[in-house]
Chain A
């Protein structure tokens, strides 16, 4: 009688080892609760800040006071005062989209800092249209401009590291008055591991 061979069992640890080395990558909902949290500014931090800003801006009712509805808003400078290279559009675009969807505010893409338009083609078309129609009147000026700053503050106590990000935004009317201002703080703590950091 032939005895069963169990030699294949010797390969099992190697198979398990190779399987263990394989990286597991999956999609996650960027606005969901399963995104990675680090001490850097994560994608969800912009969402949290934007959510707070949108809520505050809509609740304030300042955009309803514009003489013509919907109000027109221009995007001014958002200063990045953090140690990281970040694209501030991650914050402003969410606010722009929400305000646009609310039907209360439209954002101009032909007015920018230093007369540089966000969309140069749109500005060219606008100027060409004005020239062809012989309409010498200037375009509708923005009712508001959005400006702000993102600040980073780091602290450490024993083996606990704390990083705070402060998002500050101001909405200024065309008389130069800040009619709405808001600040959102996000703080994160990380504990130093036994080995390394």
Chain B
């Protein structure tokens, strides 16, 4: 191997070190047959940010009710990449007439999800009159 080739190999190696840092992913273990019964719901998706959808994706929606009669939802989010991703989510709540129910608890919440991690986000409706919801995801802009 010539001196020139050795230099080239070293340059390539250090470039890889800089541009492809080691990614840490999450290993998961769970019960093979879950005992809890989920109430999955069919969803409709409007994807405007394909890049985000390729990184962080909603893989499941589960709904229930609290003891006080509030609608409770669980969103299962999966990081499709090997590196940590940052995103924010927001949930809007609607009553039986489809009207938005306002509450101080409706905020964009930032989240970090590790590589290949599955994260469950839980939300409780602000009023018992809430019947529907809409989930929004955005890549962190700050």
Q: For residue B67, which residues in chain A have a CB less than 8 angstroms away from its CB? A: 61, 64
Complexed CA–CA distance, A32 and B68 (Å): 29
Closest 7 CB pairs of A and B: A61-B67, A94-B104, A31-B107, A47-B107, A33-B108, A51-B105, A33-B88
Tell me, rounded to whole Å, the shortest Cβ–Cβ distance linking A64 to chain B. Answer: 5
The reply to whether the CB of A97 lies closer than 8 angstroms to some CB of chain B is yes
The reply to whether the CB of B72 lies closer than 8 angstroms to some CB of chain A is yes
The reply to whether the CB of B84 lies closer than 8 angstroms to some CB of chain A is no
Interface size on B, residues (CB 8 A): 25
- Residues of chain B at the chain A interface (Cβ within 8 Å): 66-68, 70, 72, 88, 102-110, 122-124, 126-128, 138, 140-142
B108:A55 contact, CB within 8 angstroms = no
Tell me, rounded to whole Å, the shortest Cβ–Cβ distance linking A58 to chain B. Answer: 5
Residues A97 and B104 in contact in the complex (CB < 8 Å), given A34-B141, A59-B124: yes
Pick the contact of A64: B68, B88, B110, B141 (CB < 8 A).
Answer: B68
A101:B140 contact, CB within 8 angstroms = no
Q: For residue B104, which residues in chain A have a CB less than 8 angstroms away from its CB? A: 47, 50-51, 54, 93-95, 97-98
Complexed CA–CA distance, A47 and B103 (Å): 11
The reply to whether the CB of A78 lies closer than 8 angstroms to some CB of chain B is no
- Residues of chain A at the chain B interface (Cβ within 8 Å): 29, 31-37, 44, 47-48, 50-51, 54-55, 58-59, 61, 63-64, 93-95, 97-98, 101-104
B70:A33 contact, CB within 8 angstroms = no
Q: For residue A29, which residues in chain B have a CB less than 8 angstroms away from its CB? A: 108
Q: For residue B102, which residues in chain A have a CB less than 8 angstroms away from its CB? A: 101
Q: For residue B88, which residues in chain A have a CB less than 8 angstroms away from its CB? A: 33
Shortest Cβ distance from B138 into A: residue: A33
Residues A98 and B103 in contact in the complex (CB < 8 Å), given A48-B109, A59-B66, A103-B128: yes
Complexed CA–CA distance, A94 and B102 (Å): 12
Residues A102 and B66 in contact in the complex (CB < 8 Å), given A35-B142, A51-B109: no
Q: For residue B127, which residues in chain A have a CB less than 8 angstroms away from its CB? A: 101-103
Complexed CA–CA distance, A149 and B122 (Å): 24
Complexed CA–CA distance, A104 and B125 (Å): 13
Q: List 11 A-B contacts (CB under 8 A).
A: A33-B108, A33-B138, A35-B142, A37-B142, A44-B107, A51-B107, A54-B103, A59-B72, A97-B103, A98-B126, A101-B127
Residues A50 and B105 in contact in the complex (CB < 8 Å), given A34-B142, A63-B68, A98-B126: yes
